[in-house]
Structure 1
Amino acid sequence: MVNYSYSRELRLLTPEDFQPVFKNAVPAVSPHLTLLARKNTLEHPRLGMAIPKKHIKHAVGRNRIRRVVREQFRHQQHQLPNIDIVVIAKAGIADLSNEEINKVMDKLWRKLVQRCSG
């Protein structure tokens, strides 16, 4: 049975985890989200998020974005190559519904897989 958990090993936790992704990234961009990715030496993808207060004022909104992105990652993790991914929220994402965010994320996952696999 396939494991859809989001355990600690699937997360970028420290600034040292994030730095290589920011320095040498493969981007997938939409008007509301940017995904930066970089190959890793592990056997699974990892996810980190940057949801700035500047763009989403209330913690409730930032946490909703995190929840939706985490859920998307949980379901997509087995189709993703061995990459580290940083999701950066942009202005206006708080205005989207969860379904709209899911559609945007689906497109960005496909772009990332295409760019990082080749």
Structure 2
Amino acid sequence: MRLLKPADFKRVFQKSSRSSDRNFTVLFLANGKATARLGTAIAKKILKRAVDRNLVKRVVRESFRLRQQELAGLDVVVLCGRGVKLDDKQQLRHSLDKHWTRAIQALPANSG
């Protein structure tokens, strides 16, 4: 379940709530659907090497997959922060778990 169309990304960027730390900024917006959708925006300016960008995307997708049922009804876009440390994947997963929890708490009471 992915965000693919530029219009979907634009809607999330314009109207979303956000959760930030030094590793990631996560934007989330209710989508009115029964499923959650994920988009990633990992800038080349922040992570120069493609191998590093791909590693972050893999960690994000796996973390999202594990919490996807709880995030149902949200469109989520994950941005990478400047202070991200790639040598500790467990720290990245922990950071994402915190963001997912904040997004779940922000879900409207009538959906879910």
TM-score (norm 1): 0.87
Deviation at 1:23, TM superposition (A): 0.7
Counterparts of 1:66 and 1:30, CA distance in 2:
17
1:56 aligns with 2:47: yes
Kept after mapping to 1: 8 A contact 2:52/2:86: no
1:112 aligns with 2:103: yes
Find the partner of 1:91 among 70, 82, 90: 82
Counterparts of 1:61 and 1:98, CA distance in 2:
12
TM-score (norm 2): 0.92
Q: State the identity %.
A: 37
Deviation at 1:96, TM superposition (A): 4.7
Kept after mapping to 2: 8 A contact 1:33/1:90: yes
Counterparts of 2:83 and 2:17, CA distance in 1:
23
Counterparts of 1:96 and 1:31, CA distance in 2:
15
Runs of 4+ in 1 over 4 A off after TM superposition: none
Counterparts of 2:39 and 2:61, CA distance in 1:
9
Deviation at 1:56, TM superposition (A): 0.4
Match of 2:63 in 1: 72
Deviation at 1:76, TM superposition (A): 0.3
Note the alpha carbon deviations across 1:32-61, whole angstroms, 9 max, x for none: 100001111221000000000111010000
Q: Unaligned stretches of 5+ in structure 1?
A: 1-9
Counterparts of 1:96 and 1:84, CA distance in 2:
28
Find the partner of 2:26 among 16, 35, 48: 35
- Equivalent pairs, count: 109
Q: CA RMSD in A?
A: 1.2
